[in-house]
């Protein structure tokens, strides 16, 4: 068990990478607190985890809401006794448009969900981890925040994810001496609803950009998150961990 008795918040748990991660964390012994806006999906997942012998609580809300970030930490503390880890994974792609065609509304939405929400999450999570003298925070960034890899129309998304990597590194530097590790996970194309699932042409195009000529399954990304949240990565902080089928080296 890699995460035995650890108490971990997972956002974006109603779908894709977050749902796969929540299941895997629970099967590795973690107590998980599930977050996303869609309550029914969270309830179904929490039930499935419980039926498999795991421990899960959930709370629906919007990661753009500062009160929600705090409420997830409160739930972890009340239900399980504290907070050891957070997989801050909720995110949106938004409009895929060249910048001249992109709306300011899209820019603002993408930055709010992918970057500002990370700030709000950290503000709530760091004090709870400090109280326990240790913790591990993982932000889901993207290969696109590091090396575009040939993906078109990613101006807002790339800016949000590159910003997230810088934010994770700054947070890591500020809190390393307190025993809190902070890392960014940079997935390559992953088969999820926002990764093009249900659109065979998009999946084929994205798979073709990867040197491995395929996209990841959500569980492959979740395995890397387990590592970053576990004590196996005890000397890793401020790291942009790339798990991308080689797409970042394609144009490097
Ligand atoms: P997904 O299946 O569409 O899941 C996105 C999750 O984020 C959902 O659970 C969604 O839940 C949640 N979410 C979105 N906006 C939210 C908000 N305002 N408040 C609360 N929750 C919100 O996509 P995914 O591919 O698993 O994405 C997970 C993360 O991986 C994202 O950060 C994404 O940028 C990143 N990523 C994905 C890929 C890829 O190819 N799939 C590649 C690199 C990085 P609700 O709709 O229920 O709120």
Q: What is the pLDDT of residues 87-144, one digit of tens each?
A: 999 999 999 999 999 999 999 999 999 999 999 999 999 999 999 999 999 999 999 9
Ligand 1 centroid to 100 CA: how many Å?
25
Domains along the sequence of the chain with CATH: 7-251 (3.40.50.720)
pTM to 2 decimal places:
0.98
- Among 107, 143, 157, 167, the active-site one is 157
Q: Do residues 120 and 69 touch, judged by C-beta distance below 8 A?
A: yes
99 token code pair: 């910048």
- The 3-state secondary structure of 225-246 reads HHHHHCHHHCCCCCCEEEECCC
Q: Does pLDDT of 251 surpass 70? A: no
Beta carbons of 88 and 8 less than 8 angstroms apart: no
* Arithmetic mean of pLDDT over the chain: 97
Distance 66 CA to ligand 1 centre (A): 18
How many angstroms does the Cα of residue 177 sit away from the middle of ligand 1? 31
Q: Token pair for residue 221?
A: 């990304």
CA of 223 to the centre of ligand 1 (A): 17
CB 16 near ligand 1, within 6 Å: yes
Query: Is there a catalytic annotation at residue 58?
Result: no
User: 31-45, pLDDT tens digit by residue?
Assistant: 999 999 999 999 999
Mean pLDDT value of segment 79-86: 98
The minimum-distance atom of ligand 1 relative to the CA of 41 is 47
Measured by CA distance, the residue closest to atom 21 of ligand 1 is: 36
Is 190 a pocket residue for ligand 1 (Cβ < 6 Å)? yes
| 208-231: pLDDT as tens digits | 999 999 999 999 999 999 999 999
CB count in 10 Å sphere of residue 55 = 17
Q: Kindly give the number of the ligand 1 atom that is closest to the alpha carbon of 112.
A: 18
The pLDDT score that the predictor gives to residue 252 is 52
Ligand 1 contact, 142 CB (< 6 A): yes
Which residues, in sequence order, are CB contacts of 49 under 8 Å at separation 6+? 22, 23, 26, 32, 55, 56
């Amino acid at each position: 068990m890699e995460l035995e008795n650890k108490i971990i918040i997972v956002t974006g748990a109603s779908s894709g990478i977050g749902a796969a991660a929540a299941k895997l964390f629970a099967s590795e012994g973690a107590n998980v607190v599930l977050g996303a806006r869609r309550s029914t999906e969270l309830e179904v997942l929490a039930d499935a985890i419980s039926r498999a012998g795991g421990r899960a609580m959930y709370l629906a809300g919007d990661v753009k809401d500062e009160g929600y970030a705090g409420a997830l930490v409160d739930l972890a503390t009340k239900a399980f006794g504290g907070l050891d880890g957070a997989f801050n994974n909720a995110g949106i792609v938004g409009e895929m448009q060249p910048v001249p065609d992109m709306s300011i509304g899209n820019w603002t939405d993408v930055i709010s969900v992918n970057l500002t929400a990370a700030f709000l999450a950290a503000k709530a999570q760091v004090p709870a981890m400090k109280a326990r003298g240790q913790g591990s925070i993982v932000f889901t960034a993207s290969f696109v925040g590091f090396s575009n890899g040939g993906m078109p129309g990613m101006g807002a998304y790339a800016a949000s994810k590159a910003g997230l990597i810088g934010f994770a590194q700054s947070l890591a530097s500020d809190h390393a001496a307190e025993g809190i590790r902070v890392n960014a996970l940079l997935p390559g194309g992953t088969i999820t609803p926002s990764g093009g699932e249900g659109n065979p042409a998009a999946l084929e195009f994205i798979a073709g950009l990867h040197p491995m000529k395929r996209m990841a399954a959500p569980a492959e990304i979740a395995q890397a998150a387990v590592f970053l949240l576990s004590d196996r990565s005890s000397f890793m902080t401020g790291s942009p961990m790339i798990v991308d089928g080689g797409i970042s080296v394609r144009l490097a």
